[in-house]
Amino acid sequence: LAKTTQPISMDSYEGQEVNITCSHNNIATNDYITWYQQFPSQGPRFIIQGYKTKVTNEVASLFIPADRKSSTLSLPRVSLSDTAVYYCLVGALSGGYQKVTFGTGTKLQVIP
Amino acid sequence: NAGVTQTPKFQVLKTGQSMTLQCAQDMNHEYMSWYRQDPGMGLRLIHYSVGAGITDQGEVPNGYNVSRSTTEDFPLRLLSAAPSQTSVYFCASRSLSGRGTTTDTQYFGPGTRLTVL
């Protein structure tokens, strides 16, 4: 599986846009990029997933450059409830089964 | 749908005791997995299964056994608990029929907090 690198922590004020970048230099052709969110004492929750260019849903946007060696999760106008750990995962989701491993994630602290 | 359920929520064991953590899902997912999460760390894969009767090891399998006799259930067994197994355990499932699509996601249970004294 492709190794990912994310910042350990980030702080942001309420109402600001937050961008969290993940590096995955050895991403393979079949790999998708998936982001999860985890609140304290809860299991991770799927946020967004993409393969290339830009993906947007009601929660976030995911930007993936043409070389796919990095990706950026964008959270618009964060609130205190967005304080959580965010994980970037890269793995082949097609064909066969998948060993999914999580890195240490990025701890986002939203400040009032 | 209840999604992914785990029991118990909390458990305290003494060193050497055995126990089984239960995990069940009602989404008819083929893939199920167990992770452990230690304080301040990410999730590490223990074991996973792609269907009834098929299991395989993850990143940290030592000290744990699994079996998958039905699609719905995937219990994790600690044969002889050790303090190093103190952790929060998460079970997850996903549909393999969605793999390679943008709906391919894992659904996690609420976790079991295990303390081994």
Q: How far apart are CA B81 and CA B70, in angstroms?
A: 26
Q: How far apart are CA B91 and CA B79, in angstroms?
A: 18
Confidence of residue B4 (pLDDT cuts 50, 70, 90): very high
Residue B6 phi, psi (nearest 5)? -135, 140
Confidence of residue A77 (pLDDT cuts 50, 70, 90): very high
Q: What is the pLDDT of residues B40-82, one digit of tens each?
A: 778 888 999 989 999 999 889 999 999 999 999 999 999 999 9
Question: Would an 8 Å CB–CB cutoff place B104 in contact with chain A?
Answer: yes
Write down the pLDDT at residue B12. Answer: 97
The reply to whether residue A99 touches residue B42, judged by beta carbons under 8 angstroms, is: no
Question: Would an 8 Å CB–CB cutoff place B95 in contact with chain A?
Answer: no
Q: What is the DSSP letter of B67?
A: -
Q: How far apart are CA A38 and CA A32, in angstroms?
A: 20
Q: Which residues of A touch B33 (CB under 8 A)?
A: 100
- Model confidence at B6: pLDDT above 50: yes
Question: Would an 8 Å CB–CB cutoff place A2 in contact with chain B?
Answer: no
Question: Would an 8 Å CB–CB cutoff place B31 in contact with chain A?
Answer: yes
Question: Would an 8 Å CB–CB cutoff place B106 in contact with chain A?
Answer: yes
Closest partner residue to A42 (CB to CB) among B48, B56, B110 is: B110
The reply to whether residue A97 touches residue B33, judged by beta carbons under 8 angstroms, is: no
Write down the pLDDT at residue A95. Answer: 44
The arithmetic mean of pLDDT across residues A3-18, rounded, is 94
Q: How far apart are CA B81 and CA B62, in angstroms?
A: 11
Nearest to B34 by CA among A43, A7, A48: A43
Contacts of A66 (CB under 8 A, 6+ apart): A52
The arithmetic mean of pLDDT across residues B8-32, rounded, is 95
- Model confidence at A99: pLDDT above 70: no
Residue A80 phi, psi (nearest 5)? -55, -30
What is the DSSP pairing of strand B107-108 with strand B87-94?
Answer: antiparallel
Write down the pLDDT at residue A29. Answer: 84
- Average pLDDT of chain B, as a whole number: 91
Q: How far apart are CA B91 and CA B99, in angstroms?
A: 19
The arithmetic mean of pLDDT across residues B95-117, rounded, is 79
CA end-to-end distance (rounded Å), chain B: 36
A10 contacts A107 by C-beta, under 8 angstroms: yes
A23 CA: distance to closest CA in chain B (Å) = 17
Confidence of residue B99 (pLDDT cuts 50, 70, 90): low
CB pairs under 8 A between A and B: 70
Confidence of residue A67 (pLDDT cuts 50, 70, 90): very high
The arithmetic mean of pLDDT across residues B21-30, rounded, is 94
A47 CA: distance to closest CA in chain B (Å) = 9
The arithmetic mean of pLDDT across residues A14-31, rounded, is 91
Distance from chain centroid for Cα B109: 9
> When comparing pLDDT for B30 and A2, which is higher?
B30
- Average pLDDT of chain A, as a whole number: 88
Q: Which residues of A touch B96 (CB under 8 A)?
A: 97
The reply to whether residue A44 touches residue B106, judged by beta carbons under 8 angstroms, is: yes
In chain B, the percentage of residues whose pLDDT exceeds 90 is 75
Nearest to B66 by CA among B94, B32, B97: B32
* Three-state secondary structure string covering A35-84: EEEECCCCCCEEEEEECCEEEECCCCEEEECCCCCEEEEEECCCCHHHCE
Write down the pLDDT at residue A3. Answer: 78
